[in-house]
Structure 1
Amino acid sequence: MSERKIIISQNIEETLYNKVKSVIPDWTIVTGREPSIWKRHVEDAEIIVGWKKEMKEIVVNQDVNLKWIQSWSAGINSFPLNELLTKQIKVTTANGVHAFPISETIFALMLGFTRKIHTYVKQQQKQTWHHAFMNQEIHGKTVGIIGVGKIGRETAKIAKAFGMTVLGIRHSGKAEEFVDEMYPISALHSVLPRCDFVILALPLTEKTKGLFGKQEFQSMKSSAFFINIGRGPIVVENELIEALENNKIAGAGLDVFEIEPLPENSPLWHMENVIITPHTSGSTEYYNKRVIEEIFIPNLIAYLSGHELPINLLDFEKGY
């Protein structure tokens, strides 16, 4: 029987390596982030865990043995999806790994604005003792979650602890626990005027690219805060900047941007009503463990049994 091979293009802990090895003891497992470690194995690997841009040329242009890619991230917009579909290579994402850390970031940003934390940090640096007109709270307010997946669900759950009203938007419009009212995306402009906080948690697809622009910001309350932890290109960034400069919205907490790293000449860097994080909202000490133990290994067991991959299997038509 020919050798079966898997590439894990990450530096994973020995305990996680051993857990994978226990499921596929007879397979060759190649691990490590550096291309010099895994590049010569791409052509004959059956499974790749962790897509790298350097893999594209080999996978697309050569006759490869690849059957399945487990993404190390939730977003797969950088993948050559058309070619993978043509070659019938399955893709599973890391969707769900980020639910805890990103929901915590969302509330850090919300509380940062209402309790003036970002302002007080700047004042501390200048040794300035000033109230900064702090008078807001999030208890009892309304939050709109645009994209109620696993992150949105966890965010809604936390919001209920603050006594918030939760409005949700998802493609299906299907009801969800902790969401008071759920709507399809077609209802976006009727939901936005009701929200004190708007959380953008959508994946980037052809349909969501540029979804949030001038019209959407005009639909929001001037007192509302906008938070984007989805993907930068979903927002028309120059129109967001215009809304912030003209006080069409109260502020924005941004983890993702149209261009990353955010260019040094972007006005967003210097706005008092903006909090910037460098695409780190999903970072957590448990990241590797969750990808391997909660997503990859259950999928691997199903794969070895000849069953459909049960967790986060990509729908190529939807793009997520």
Structure 2
Amino acid sequence: MTKSIVCLQPLTPSQQAKIREAAPGYTLELGSAKEPDLQQLAGAEIVIGWAKGIGEALLDGESQLRWVQSWSAGIDKMPLPRLQERGVLLTTASGVHAEPIAAVIFGFILSFTRNLHKAVLNQSKREWHSYGNETELSGKTAVIFGTGAIGGETARIAKAFRMKTIGVSRTGKPAADFDEVFQISQWQEAVSQGDFVINTLPLTDDTHHLFNAALFSAFKEGSYYINIGRGGTTHTGDLIEALQSGHIRGAGLDVFETEPLPQDHPLWGMEQVIITPHSAGNTDRYADRIVDIITENLKSYIATGSPSLNKVDYSQQY
């Protein structure tokens, strides 16, 4: 009996060929995340991507589903308890975003240190004005919450600017390009050293509103906060208060608790805040990179029964 892979994202002919080559004995069917075919999905052993409304079809008693390869790194909107209960393997796209997101992080950092965000506003008003408080990155400290692919790439680039790098992770294990790494329970000691505090964390029960008034109060006076992880890791009201008080000098935000960010939200009117619309991970190389992950995982799944890359630990929610 032929086994089925259903992909809910568009693939080029060459990308389809790579997947088929990695999975002999499987058919590859293309579906749509916007208009999923529940009958098509019901017969799938492997699903690439996810969509609203497909959980019931994929997780009922008749489903053939054994493995879901997420099209994104974040999985907080997926039915993790149901997937775990059914014994479904889940893998993510972790690593795909490292280069574009690190570029956005340093876009924020360079904008703040060189007042580029203010220069753009002045240009729109035809104002010739220099602020005189521009600074440099050499000798500054970047505190990076999350030492995975994104955090690691950010630390590597920071080293090129001769910055000190401090990591914060669940385990506190040493990691490449980090001068030191603290356990997340040591957040106060870590953030007190940061000129830039960068949040790359996933949203889990443990990280929800981790960045709150208590944590912001431990920030170094006049430091900057950057969040490209998940909006729910930050208490937005507490962040606004820290910005209004001047304790935090500015914030670069790509993710928010409510998305899209409402038009009447106070963050829009804060000149010390740079907002991007959850687009930090966008890149024209996205599909090619995730197909490379998929093909490696397919080879491992066929050989051993389990994918080898980015397998989710349900107990950690990532």
TM-score (norm 2): 0.97
1:311 maps to which residue? 309
2:105 maps to which residue? 106
Q: State whether residues 299 and 311 of structure 1, in contact with CA within 8 Å, keep that contact through their aligned partners in structure 2.
A: yes
Rounded to whole Å, the distance in 1 between the matches of 2:304 and 2:179 is: 40
2:96 maps to which residue? 97
Secondary structure at the counterpart of residue 203 of structure 1: coil
Closer, same or farther: CA 32–65 of 1 in aligned 2, 3 Å: closer
Rounded to whole Å, the distance in 1 between the matches of 2:105 and 2:35 is: 38
Q: State whether residues 300 and 307 of structure 2, in contact with CA within 8 Å, keep that contact through their aligned partners in structure 1.
A: yes
Secondary structure at the counterpart of residue 225 of structure 1: strand
Letter in 1 for 2:268: W
2:56 maps to which residue? 57
Secondary structure at the counterpart of residue 53 of structure 2: helix
Rounded to whole Å, the distance in 1 between the matches of 2:26 and 2:302 is: 12
2:167 maps to which residue? 168
1:195 maps to which residue? 194
1:158 maps to which residue? 157
Offset of 1:139 from its aligned partner? 1.6
Q: State whether residues 4 and 45 of structure 2, in contact with CA within 8 Å, keep that contact through their aligned partners in structure 1.
A: yes
Aligned-pair Cα RMSD in Å: 1.3
Offset of 1:36 from its aligned partner? 4.2
Offset of 1:306 from its aligned partner? 2.5
- The correspondence of residues 264-303 of structure 1 with structure 2, limited to 5 A, is 264-293=263-292, 295-303=293-301
Provide, for residues 90-125 of structure 1, a one-character-per-residue CA deviation record: whole Å limited to 9, x for no partner.
Answer: 000001111101111100000011111111111111
Provide, for residues 274-303 of structure 1, a one-character-per-residue CA deviation record: whole Å limited to 9, x for no partner.
Answer: 00000011111110001011x110010011
Letter in 1 for 2:306: E
Rounded to whole Å, the distance in 1 between the matches of 2:9 and 2:115 is: 38
Secondary structure at the counterpart of residue 59 of structure 2: helix
Rounded to whole Å, the distance in 1 between the matches of 2:195 and 2:146 is: 17
Q: State whether residues 30 and 37 of structure 1, in contact with CA within 8 Å, keep that contact through their aligned partners in structure 2.
A: no
- The correspondence of residues 242-261 of structure 1 with structure 2, limited to 5 A, is 242-261=241-260
List gaps (5 residues or longer) in structure 2.
none
Q: How many residues align?
A: 318
Provide, for residues 178-210 of structure 1, a one-character-per-residue CA deviation record: whole Å limited to 9, x for no partner.
Answer: 100111011100111111000001111000001
Rounded to whole Å, the distance in 1 between the matches of 2:97 and 2:298 is: 21
Letter in 2 for 1:203: P
Q: State whether residues 209 and 235 of structure 1, in contact with CA within 8 Å, keep that contact through their aligned partners in structure 2.
A: yes
Offset of 1:32 from its aligned partner? 4.0
Secondary structure at the counterpart of residue 310 of structure 2: coil
1:119 equivalent in alignment to 2:118: yes
2:231 maps to which residue? 232
Identity of aligned residues (%): 41
Offset of 1:76 from its aligned partner? 0.4
Q: State whether residues 36 and 54 of structure 2, in contact with CA within 8 Å, keep that contact through their aligned partners in structure 1.
A: no
Rounded to whole Å, the distance in 2 between the matches of 1:22 and 1:252 is: 45
Closer, same or farther: CA 210–19 of 1 in aligned 2, 3 Å: same
